């Protein structure tokens, strides 16, 4: 059966909501609904004796009060967020009072001009009374507009929720350690994003992850061979509705160019860096270009050795057994340790009458992550006392425990 044609008569009924469904599970760093603080306007106000269908009704937090335009050509609704936001997602609630008022084919745009902003999504099939969420992947703008192209259309919106953070907050530096920062490699071969990712994972750690301005500068220096554009390790995660680093780093440092990402040619799901400006653009993952890999400076050795043998191995083949001197290095160690085949993984930690354990003497600046009961002062006279060698747990909280040298474990070298 075809739904009844829209009539003005029918819009007399209040919109009502029968339920809420999230069609896309949008995760990540969503903060509050920033639409609530905006000011809304629309192409025309539909008015009737009982209700006021003004534009503000779509951002009042009440899903049973709705905005509606009159029937007209290309009706639109718009909210001014007053500041520039990076929008992660937009949720739209359709009317659900049995009145057919299709908002299918309505387009959602985000940007800084009143007209002609980049498109986040087209509403294709939103059920009556339902809320649907559209990921917008950090599109930037002060204005969010919704319009239905065509003649004799009215635009009715019961709630528009906009989730995002202020533009300025996305460029913040993530912390890194001076001793173990990312080491970048420029690969001058034309590959798709996925091919590039495989190459980096084979030869290095992963496609480049960038934590801060310093990383950015070092990366640009290694690529100093006249490339135009090159892949970095950022890609859309459609399940989570957000950009995700290839190595699962959670850092939200970004260097988007103006009006980027814009999904200009559709399917722009990967990120390139431009040589001239060093700004980032979204781009079709199947395009081929050079790329940046990074190298973590830590390596997990999946061999079972005693602590002393492990240390010799690291010193011969790499630098040393890893010293965990900060939270950041601890996080890298955790990422490596998770892949170990033994329940503990050796670290460069040894209790001796010369060193004791790090932090035992109570230096407050000293980083440690001992499991309860471990890392305490021991009788230094007994060289064979159990638990004189430090390892990190593969599972759970990844704390440090003291174990005897005779344990045969995987280990992590600094390289």
> Which C-beta is closer to ligand NAG: that of 3 or that of 32?
32
With tokens 């907050």, the residue in question is 169
CA distance linking residue 105 with residue 23, whole number of Å:
17
CA distance linking residue 296 with residue 247, whole number of Å:
10
Strands (E), 194-287: 206-207, 229-237, 242-245, 270-274, 280-283
Q: What are the residues binding ligand NAG (CB under 6 A)?
A: 14, 32, 34, 36-37, 52, 54, 56-57, 62, 64-65, 84, 125, 127, 167-168, 171-173, 188-190, 212-214, 248-250, 258, 302-304, 331, 335, 341-342, 371-374, 387, 401
Work out how close the CB of 355 gets to ligand NAG at its nearest, in angstroms, rounded to a whole number: 18
**Closest by alpha carbon to 123, among 99, 94, 100?**
94
Work out how close the CB of 127 gets to ligand NAG at its nearest, in angstroms, rounded to a whole number: 5
**Closest by alpha carbon to 333, among 302, 298, 281?**
298
> Which C-beta is closer to ligand NAG: that of 65 or that of 263?
65
CA distance linking residue 388 with residue 309, whole number of Å:
15
Work out how close the CB of 269 gets to ligand NAG at its nearest, in angstroms, rounded to a whole number: 20
Work out how close the CB of 184 gets to ligand NAG at its nearest, in angstroms, rounded to a whole number: 17
Q: For 309, list phi and psi in degrees, rounded to 5.
A: -65, -35
> Which C-beta is closer to ligand NAG: that of 73 or that of 399?
399
> Which C-beta is closer to ligand NAG: that of 19 or that of 373?
373
Work out how close the CB of 317 gets to ligand NAG at its nearest, in angstroms, rounded to a whole number: 16
Q: Are 44 and 75 in contact (CB under 8 A)?
A: yes
Residue nearest to ligand NAG (CB): 373
Work out how close the CB of 304 gets to ligand NAG at its nearest, in angstroms, rounded to a whole number: 4
Q: Are 375 and 357 in contact (CB under 8 A)?
A: yes
């Amino acid at each position: 059966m075809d739904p009844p044609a829209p009539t003005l008569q029918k819009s007399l009924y209040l919109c009502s909501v029968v339920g809420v469904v999230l069609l896309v599970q949008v995760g990540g760093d969503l903060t509050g609904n920033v639409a609530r603080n905006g000011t809304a306007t629309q192409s025309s106000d539909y008015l009737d004796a009982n209700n006021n269908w003004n534009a503000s009704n779509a951002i009042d937090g009440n899903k049973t009060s709705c905005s509606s335009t009159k029937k007209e050509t290309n009706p639109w609704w718009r909210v001014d967020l007053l500041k520039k936001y990076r929008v992660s997602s937009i949720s739209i609630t359709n009317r659900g009072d049995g009145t057919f008022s299709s908002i299918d084919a309505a387009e959602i745009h985000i940007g800084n001009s009143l007209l002609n902003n980049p498109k986040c999504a087209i509403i294709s099939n939103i059920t009556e009374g339902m809320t649907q969420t559209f990921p917008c992947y950090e599109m930037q703008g002060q204005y969010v507009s919704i319009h239905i192209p065509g003649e004799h259309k009215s635009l009715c919106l019961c709630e528009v929720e906009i989730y995002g953070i202020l533009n300025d907050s996305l460029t913040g530096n993530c912390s890194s350690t001076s001793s173990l920062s990312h080491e970048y490699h420029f690969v001058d071969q034309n590959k798709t994003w996925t091919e590039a990712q495989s190459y980096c994972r084979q030869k290095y750690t992963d496609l480049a992850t960038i934590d801060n301005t310093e990383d950015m500068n070092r990366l640009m220096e290694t690529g100093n061979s006249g490339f135009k554009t090159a892949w970095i390790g950022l890609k859309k995660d459609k399940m989570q509705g957000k950009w995700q680093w290839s190595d699962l780093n959670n850092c939200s440092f970004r260097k988007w160019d103006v009006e980027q990402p814009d999904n200009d040619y559709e399917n722009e799901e990967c990120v390139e860096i431009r040589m001239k400006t060093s700004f980032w653009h979204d781009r079709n993952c199947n395009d081929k270009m050079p790329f940046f890999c990074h190298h973590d400076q830590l390596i997990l050795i999946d061999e079972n050795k005693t602590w002393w043998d492990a240390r010799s191995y690291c010193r011969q083949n790499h630098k040393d057994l890893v010293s965990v001197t900060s939270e950041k290095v601890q996080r890298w160690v955790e990422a490596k340790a998770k892949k170990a085949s033994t329940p503990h993984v050796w670290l460069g930690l040894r209790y001796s009458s010369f060193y004791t354990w790090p932090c035992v003497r109570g230096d407050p600046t000293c980083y440690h992550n001992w499991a309860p009961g471990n890392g305490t002062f021991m009788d230094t006279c007994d060289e064979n006392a159990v638990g004189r060698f430090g390892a990190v747990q593969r599972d759970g909280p990844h704390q440090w425990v003291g174990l005897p040298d005779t344990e045969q474990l995987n280990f992590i070298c600094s390289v």
